[in-house]
Structure 1
Amino acid sequence: QEIWIPVAGSGGGSILEILEIKSSMTTVKTSDSFDVVVKIKNSGAFDSGQIRVSADGTESLLPVSQNLHFIQSLKKGEVKNITFKFQPKPDAARGGVPITINVAPVDDNDGTAISQAISVFVDSDSTGSAEGKNVPKIIIKSYSSEPTLVNAGENFKLNMEFLNTHASKTVRNIKGSFSVTEASNETGNVFTPVGSSNTFYIDKINPQGSSSWDVTLYTIPDAKSKTYTVSVSFEYEDDQGTQYTATELIGIPVYQPSRFEVSELSLPTETSMGFPVFTAFEMYNLGKTEIYNVKLRVEGDFEAQPKSNYFGNFESGRVEYFELSLIPMTVGEANGKIIFQFENASGEVHEVVKDFSMNVMEMMMPPEGEDFPVGGDMPGMEDEPTDKNFFTSPWFYIILGVVVIGVVVTIVLVVRKRKKDKEFEF
């Protein structure tokens, strides 16, 4: 039996989740047929490709309907229900029977395969084979995690409820343990118990009774975005002291948190009205998973070139350099902010905001009725005869130079933006 716990994120553009598996009957007789409804969601940042959904009812259950379905595509955030129908075999043994649902993209590069299962109890007069006659079984009846969404590098509490499926036998002296079948290459076990060991003890579980157990686990920071299988093993006895063993599987999908950072902005504290100010910065994806649809926009008392820009997806470790010009549009204290926006693997939108401010002074102008000064006259020196006017003064060339520089910088930034946009065309 496999039960999968939703924890939090993944590596591909589409992330498939099994939100719920619900059986129309929890206890069935051999003459009953029942439905199993599976609710599947694409929690990724992009639409999925073709998806294969199958159901495995073991040898004790017969599929009444087809047990393999294909979904052509799931849009981002879309939820779809798939229904399977089963009936127990006439000679099915009494006890719990797992039904495993497998969801996988047809294209292996389009996401990660996941599995989840529930159990139904077959109420029959058959005891199965002689070897399995009257064997009391322990299964995982239900589970929960707190919080529901868990990121790598965080603690979470796992609670499980165990059920003794036998109608008349009590199971005693129950020793349980859990282990992860796959380890991290860097730090070993993916899940580590916090404040306890990986074993537990239950005195007894009465017939058709249940017992709960919870443990706090720590997920290592370098765990990959994938589903890890946890094996829960039991050793127990019946009233006659006969010893039994059982194993249940729990799948925990781990998601990596995103980590997007921007370097500090380098800007002067003062400038003049209408004069362009240039700034450059770097953006980093410091997380262990890809982020999607990275873009920025500028807001505030400045005219920016460019005012917004789209960068596309950032794989882990990517560094992106960017520069822009800011022209203050108000005198006094001018405030602005650059807003960076991106989506994580779960499709959640995040923002990083960089605020900035400058003291803006009026552009220097000559007194009313006077021309701009011409040349570098020194006291005591006679001016040479000349036809003085604004277009031959140094002020004209200074202002002209500023305008030319602003135009050149704008052209350079536009060309770079167009070149960058072409790099993200598909």
Structure 2
Amino acid sequence: MKINKKIACFILSTALIFTPFLVNIHSYAETTSIDNEEDKREQEERERQEEQRRQKERDYYVAVEMYSDFPKLKNDTQNTLTVQIKNTGGSHLEKSKIKVSALPGEISLTGGSSTTQNIGTIYVGNQTSVNYEVQVSKDAKTGTYPITFEFTGNYGTSVENYKAYSYSKTFYLNITKTEKEKDKSQYKPFLIQNIKHPAIINKGDVADLTFSIKNPNDKPMSSIKVSVSPDEGIVNQTQGVFVENNFPANGEKTFNVKLFAQDKAEKKNYSIKLTVEPTNPTEQTDSKSSEDSNETPKILPTSTQYTGIFYNAPDKDEVDGVKNPQIIISSYSYGGTYVEPNQQFPLTMSFVNTSSQKVLRNIKISLSAEEGTFIAVNSSNSFYIDSMSPNSSVTKTINFVTKPDATTKTVAMTIDYTYEDTKGTALTAKDSISIPVMQKTLLSIDDVAQPQDVMEGEPVNISLNFYNLGKTKISNLKMVASGDFTVQGENSYFVGNLEPGKNDSFSISAMPNDPNKISGVIDFTYEKLDGSIETAQKKFNFTLNPISPMPDNNNMDDIQPPKHDNKIIYIGVGIAVVIIIGIILKKRHNKRKKSQELDLDE
């Protein structure tokens, strides 16, 4: 009994020693238990939300896909947009609808159409189509425009447990301006060219006039009439009218006539009119009969060209039986086919003393342009010639500059002569020449804009702006895009005429062959006022950084970090303490028992 009392005392003292420790363990366990309860509630809430998501999908896949191949739209036109909806999931979709949730401002629904259309039931694997009738605004600019469709439907085993499903997709519409059709009602007029004849004829002279005509069309003309009509006072000594049947396509022919002056003709310049016209004044077709052809008959416009010959008639008033002399300009050139504003050009002129007997002296020649269009450079617009022998000629060159604001037209240059004969008689004369002015054609093209908001798998918008910064109209303007991409729609745009001071834009929707870059070129062709064809290019090479679509958070499983059960840890610690205490008590008990046995033996 004494031993048991000692053991009891030892246990009691040990308990007193470990009591604070155990109390702390218990307090910590209670606190940890509260935290565990909160974690448990959060975990249960997450599981409940996950269960709701899974329940919404009802343990099978629910999905639709939308397809469309929209036509390329043109401004101020009506079109039909068709959208295909296919049920690609594992459940029938009831009470399905489709809605245009984002419609570009350049497009409106026609016929009172609603943005929402009922589809009904779409069974698994089936598809249906929906049509929208739309009107494109006449002011719509060329470009790519987004349009978004939203699908909604119900799925489930019965009405009581139906769940809602929705899906949306954005497509891209390509809008271009309506191309202006070229005038197909007329052929190109014949060209009258290579006109040659003497500049001056005297009494009794016969002037040989030669010229050629050319058919610029790709089709032969059935019958044309060529006429040579001089002013009254000049007579055509030979045939004046020619009729040509089946004039070949792109063919050319030369004609010759002989002209002379009548006795009553005055001393002056006589105009000669050259004309090419169809024999039927109202309609002209090619050699193929219109009855055998489905083509609409075309009209051949009349071509007209003028030239002139100066008749040096004997003067009625003669001094000592000799005619009064005249100075005329026999030829002139200005360095090309036309002059440009704010540009310098040399005007070279040849002057002839038409008298065969008189010497002319103290000759002053002055030039003046209509509206002051031409200004002499580093010199006067007048010059002096000391004398000119009978029938002699003098060539002079004066540099002129065309004023910057000169408009495109043919400008008259007036030439005034003052001179004297050998007796000091003062004489005057006047002449004129024509110089065409052509304003520069100036097409300015911006660089291609860097594509923005590039989405992976979606087309890239390539666009640029261009301007007519000149003072003349640009005709038949067209652009074509090409490069390492596939164009969705047309790759060209025909502007037609671009008036001075106007601008426009060109854009395409292109799918890059390489998702990380896109390069290509946009070729411009246009026609200047003089009919010549000009070309221009804009190259581009861009590095793309496609943005991946945002992942669907609803389809991502929540990943929770592993948690330990703190309650089990605390219990384990408690058991370990009890075991340690038990071992210590047992050792002490065995030691005391052994000591008692030794005492008894003694």
Per the TM superposition, whether the score is higher than 0.5 is: yes
Q: Say if 2:383 is the partner of 1:196.
A: no
Q: Say if 2:310 is the partner of 1:129.
A: no
Q: Which structure would you say has the larger Rg? A: 2
CA distance in 1, matches of 2:213, 2:471: 26
3-state SS of the aligned residue for 1:208?
Answer: coil
Q: Say if 2:480 is the partner of 1:297.
A: yes
Aligned to 2:271: 100
Q: Say if 2:375 is the partner of 1:178.
A: no
Distance 1:22 1:283, change over 3 A: same
Instruction: Choose which of 471, 474, 494 in structure 2 pairs with 1:288.
Output: 471
CA distance in 2, matches of 1:252, 1:40: 24
Residue 231 of structure 1: how far off its partner (Å): 0.8
**Unaligned residue ranges in structure 1 (runs of 5+):** 1-12, 44-49, 184-188, 366-371, 383-426
Distance 1:104 1:91, change over 3 A: closer
Distance 1:164 1:99, change over 3 A: same
Q: Say if 2:408 is the partner of 1:225.
A: yes
CA distance in 1, matches of 2:302, 2:473: 13
Q: Say if 2:214 is the partner of 1:34.
A: no
> What is the root-mean-square deviation in Å for CA atoms of aligned residues?
4.4
Paired AA for residue 406 in structure 2: A
3-state SS of the aligned residue for 1:86?
Answer: strand
Distance 1:213 1:37, change over 3 A: same
**Residue pair 1:154, 1:218 contacting (<8 A) in 2 also:** yes
Instruction: Choose which of 331, 336, 340 in structure 1 pairs with 2:520.
Output: 336
Residue 317 of structure 1: how far off its partner (Å): 3.3
Residue 99 of structure 1: how far off its partner (Å): 3.8
Distance 1:331 1:129, change over 3 A: same
Residue 284 of structure 1: how far off its partner (Å): 2.4
3-state SS of the aligned residue for 2:470?
Answer: coil
Aligned to 2:196: 22
**Residue pair 2:338, 2:435 contacting (<8 A) in 1 also:** no
Q: Say if 2:416 is the partner of 1:245.
A: no
Aligned to 1:139: 328
Instruction: Choose which of 260, 263, 266 in structure 2 pairs with 1:87.
Output: 260
Instruction: Choose which of 500, 510, 523 in structure 2 pairs with 1:326.
Output: 510
Distance 1:29 1:329, change over 3 A: same
Query: Could you tell which deviates more after superposition, 224-233 or 282-291?
Result: 282-291
CA distance in 1, matches of 2:402, 2:276: 26
After TM superposition, the structure 1 = structure 2 runs for residues 57-68 of structure 1, keeping only pairs within 5 Å, are 59=233, 61-64=234-237
Distance 1:294 1:194, change over 3 A: same
**Residue pair 1:273, 1:329 contacting (<8 A) in 2 also:** no
1:291-337 Cα deviation digits (max 9, x unpaired): 22111111221222321222222233333233321221136654211
Aligned to 2:499: 315
3-state SS of the aligned residue for 2:391?
Answer: coil
**Residue pair 1:15, 1:346 contacting (<8 A) in 2 also:** no
Residue 98 of structure 1: how far off its partner (Å): 3.2
CA distance in 2, matches of 1:141, 1:341: 40
3-state SS of the aligned residue for 1:266?
Answer: coil
Paired AA for residue 510 in structure 2: L
Distance 1:284 1:52, change over 3 A: farther
Q: Say if 2:161 is the partner of 1:161.
A: no
Residue 233 of structure 1: how far off its partner (Å): 0.8
**Residue pair 2:197, 2:207 contacting (<8 A) in 1 also:** yes
1:204-233 Cα deviation digits (max 9, x unpaired): 111111111111111223323222111111
Tell me which of the two structures has the higher relative contact order, counting C-alpha pairs closer than 8 angstroms and 6 or more residues apart. 1
1:100-158 Cα deviation digits (max 9, x unpaired): 34579999xx9998754344667xxxx33126851111111222222444223322111
Distance 1:27 1:283, change over 3 A: same
3-state SS of the aligned residue for 2:472?
Answer: coil
CA distance in 2, matches of 1:112, 1:216: 34
CA distance in 1, matches of 2:548, 2:401: 63
Distance 1:78 1:245, change over 3 A: farther
3-state SS of the aligned residue for 1:146?
Answer: coil
**Residue pair 1:14, 1:76 contacting (<8 A) in 2 also:** no
Distance 1:271 1:151, change over 3 A: same
Instruction: Choose which of 528, 542, 545 in structure 2 pairs with 1:358.
Output: 542
Distance 1:317 1:267, change over 3 A: same
TM-score, length basis structure 2: 0.48
Distance 1:28 1:238, change over 3 A: closer
Paired AA for residue 492 in structure 2: S
Distance 1:168 1:63, change over 3 A: same
Paired AA for residue 315 in structure 2: G
Residue 342 of structure 1: how far off its partner (Å): 0.8
Higher relative helix content: 2
CA distance in 1, matches of 2:227, 2:529: 22
Distance 1:379 1:273, change over 3 A: closer
**Unaligned residue ranges in structure 2 (runs of 5+):** 1-186, 217-223, 282-300, 563-602
Paired AA for residue 252 in structure 1: I
CA distance in 2, matches of 1:20, 1:254: 22
**Residue pair 1:271, 1:359 contacting (<8 A) in 2 also:** no
